[in-house]
Structure 1
Amino acid sequence: MFPMVTGFMNYGQQTIRAARYIGQSFIITLSHTNRLPVTIQYPYEKSIMSERFRDLPVVDWRLERDIQKKQLLNYSIDFGVCIFCGNCVEYCPTNCLSMTEEYELSTYDRHELNYNQIALGRLPISIIGDYTIQTVRNSTPIQIDKENSFDSRTITNY
């Protein structure tokens, strides 16, 4: 009879331990329900990158005929192999390269990722100025400068 009593006591202890673990799991699950969602609906919502985020270099070039120096005839970057380290911006002898916040480079053909100097000279569309896309950044409103039009962008007002 004594082994039967110890068996019931072990069964009771295991039941209490299992109920405690289930209760702890339930409390953890309830604590996760108050959190904001991590994922965003990508084509319709885009997250704003930090100021130090570096991606897609852009060429800021001007044609100056009065300077009689050797000019670079062809310049291209293959973004299929680029790791966006920023060394091209750092070592550019003319300081005409700068990094932008553009991160959308998806294509169906890898040969479309080879950008020449003309394609690099086009500034990407800012997601802050696009009214069709909702920007997400820790629910803080972003101040948009109304004086600078988004139709005429330069490197300084991008």
Structure 2
Amino acid sequence: MELITVAAVAENGVIGRDGEIPWPSIPADKQQYRDRIADSPVILGRVTFDSMRDDLPGTAQIVLSRSESAFDVESAHHVSGIDDAIATVESLGSDHAYVIGGAGIYDLFQPAIDRMILSRIPGEYDGDTYFPDWETNDWTLVDRTPYDEFTLEEWVREQS
């Protein structure tokens, strides 16, 4: 079972401000993100799930929440932790899932992540939400694709 983080991250680690992205919209980044996760289950927190209800990503939403045990969306599944999330993804017949936020979910899942797909946004932005720190020596950059307004990086965790 492979867990893959997908995030857009500014140079100073900011990923959000007041529940929104703090930089101007980048359509090419949104499109590659949506295309990547479209046919896969996604793991996300309740606040992120609620913010995406009008246009839910992925084939199934694995929603990590301490309080809510059911959602009024057929494709949404409540989970209480990493093991529960992995079991739910496997019960759906998938061998991978994308972890798509928010910050607390990125942080919680970081030790279990196998791969990261990071949209590197140029510039530093004011924000209240940050991507978790990670030890670059534990990862290998396997792909780096520059676009006009961002650079897409793919990192793979070193096997110990």
Same fold (TM over 0.5): no
Of Structure 1 and Structure 2, the greater strand share is in 2
Report the structure number with the largest CA radius of gyration: 1
- Bigger relative CO (Cα 8 Å, ≥ 6 apart): 2
